[in-house]
Amino acid sequence: MMKGRMKLYLFLAFVAFCGCQQKAPNNQTKVVTSETALQMLMDGNKRFSMLKPVHPHESIEQLRDVAHGQHPFAVVVCCSDSRVSPELIFDEGIGDLFVIRTAGNVIGGLEIGSIEYAVEHLSVKQVVIMGHEGCGAIEAFTEGGEIPGHIKDIIDSIRQEAEIKTIPLNTTNRVDEYVKANVQHGIRQLTLQSKIINEKVKNGLVQITGLRYDLDDLSVTILKQ
């Protein structure tokens, strides 16, 4: 009986010792420039589109580290569409991306405030606004007709975008052109409506990049501004 208790005490002591020896959280982050951050995203998407993701930063060590603080290297603003999951599309893990998602990647005050928090308090230097092929919100706007409930708020917001209004109704692939215009509007909106973001962009501390995700070939392309 005594031997059994002694073994139990020794086991508990060993567990406690191991717990004390766990790796301390690494709160010192490597310096990531806006250009490096964008390249990391594009490299991750290349792995994803080639069906060779590595699913980084999902270890127990990573989970313990991020429990003590987050250090994302990029902000991703994208659609709520269930087929557009940033961590999967860019092959990134827990704590890598600061993500804001709304239908049609529509941006308002709350979303801008969230982005400001990321660049001001988390020192994120790359902000990505990503539209995607076959966006339901853009398609609903294009088709017109009666829109129920608060879904109408989304469509009305898209309808008011100056970049959308410049596209002729007879344009080929009008939906996709609207998707691109919607991304460009989001970029302009951030610089016009956020003093914090605008100043950081002017000083070269933050970069805003527009992207388009293709549902068919799984690739992300950079949109010209």
74-90 pLDDT, tens digit per residue, is: 999 999 999 999 999 99
Mean pLDDT of the 13-19 span = 41
The answer to the question of residue 175 being in a domain is yes
Look up the pTM and report it: 0.85
The answer to the question of residue 21 being in a domain is no
The answer to the question of residue 140 being in a domain is yes
Q: What is the pLDDT of residue 31?
A: 74
Q: What is the pLDDT of residue 20?
A: 37
| 7-21, 50-64, 120-134, 194-208: range with lowest mean pLDDT | 7-21
Average pLDDT over the chain, rounded to an integer? 89
Q: What is the pLDDT of residue 225?
A: 78
pLDDT at 41 > cutoff 80 = yes
The answer to the question of residue 92 being in a domain is yes
Could you tell me the CATH number of the domain that includes residue 151? Answer: 3.40.1050.10
The answer to the question of residue 10 being in a domain is no
Domains contained in the chain, number = 1
The answer to the question of residue 112 being in a domain is yes
Mean pLDDT of the 101-111 span = 97
pLDDT digits (tens, 9 = 90+) for 169-188: 999 999 999 999 999 999 99
> How distant is the alpha carbon of residue 77 from its chain centre?
5
Q: What is the pLDDT of residue 18?
A: 41
Higher pLDDT: 6 or 199? It is 199
The answer to the question of residue 18 being in a domain is no
The answer to the question of residue 171 being in a domain is yes
Q: What is the pLDDT of residue 85?
A: 98
Q: What is the pLDDT of residue 78?
A: 98
pLDDT digits (tens, 9 = 90+) for 143-173: 998 999 999 999 999 999 999 999 999 999 9
Domain that includes residue 196, residue range: 29-222
| 16-25, 69-78, 119-128: range with lowest mean pLDDT | 16-25
Mean pLDDT of the 55-66 span = 93
